Structure 1
Amino acid sequence: MKRNLWVLNRGHGAIVLTAALMALPVTAQAYVGPGAGLTAIGTMLALIAALVLALVGFVWYPVKRMMRAKKAKAEMQTTPSETES
């Protein structure tokens, strides 16, 4: 039983060692021009804008509709009392 656990642990160690070696940085002799940098910046800005607009669409508009409905309900309740007096 102990021998089987040792083999299992050794297998996990190999996986961890392989992942650690793959995570080590490797020197790349490459030039990244300004066009690629500007493209990356533009992509990040577009992603951030899309996330913000998604939040606005999913959060702000339902809240806005609830506030508008509440205001309309309040106006409905005040309108009959004004006509009675």
Structure 2
Amino acid sequence: MRPHVSNPFRLATLPIAIGAACLPVAAQAYVGPGAGLTAIGTLIALVAAVLLAIVGFVWYPMKRMMRNRAERQDTRTAGAGGEGRRE
């Protein structure tokens, strides 16, 4: 004979089932044009802000790195040409 093992999820099953039974099958609601355009505009602004933040965190350090690399390259080529200081 097996000992009885209590399932911890069994206790939560009844409230979840009752809550699911109380939920409506379909929500029939009207969203006016003002509220709908506001929601769409807010969503677009949020996505644009996230994308611009990512671009800012990636682009500006890369831009600085490329500028520093170009400056080092310029100092190397200027010194190697023999056109430096003449005495």
- Structure 1's unaligned 5+ residue stretches are none
Matches within 5 A, 1:31-70: 31-70=30-69
CA displacement 1:20-41 (0-9 Å, x = unmatched):
x17x554344321000110011
Identity of aligned residues (%): 49
**Aligned residue in 2 for 1:10:** 10
- Structure 2's unaligned 5+ residue stretches are none
Which of the two has higher C-alpha Rg?
2
Name the SS for the 1:3 alignment partner.
coil
Query: Partner amino acid for 1:56?
Result: V
Hey, what's the Cα distance between the residues in 2 that align with 1:2 and 1:38? 61
Across the two proteins, how many residue pairs are aligned to each other?
Answer: 82
Write 1 or 2 for the structure with the bigger share of helix: 1
Higher relative contact order structure (alpha carbons within 8 Å, sequence separation ≥ 6): 2
CA displacement 1:44-83 (0-9 Å, x = unmatched):
1101110111011100000110011111111111110112
Which segments of structure 1 move beyond 4 Å, counting only runs of 4 or more? none
1:16 Cα deviation (Å)? Answer: 5.3
> Are 1:83 and 2:79 an aligned pair?
no
- Over 3 Å counting, the alpha-carbon distance change for 1:50 and 1:9 in structure 2 is closer
- Over 3 Å counting, the alpha-carbon distance change for 1:30 and 1:16 in structure 2 is closer
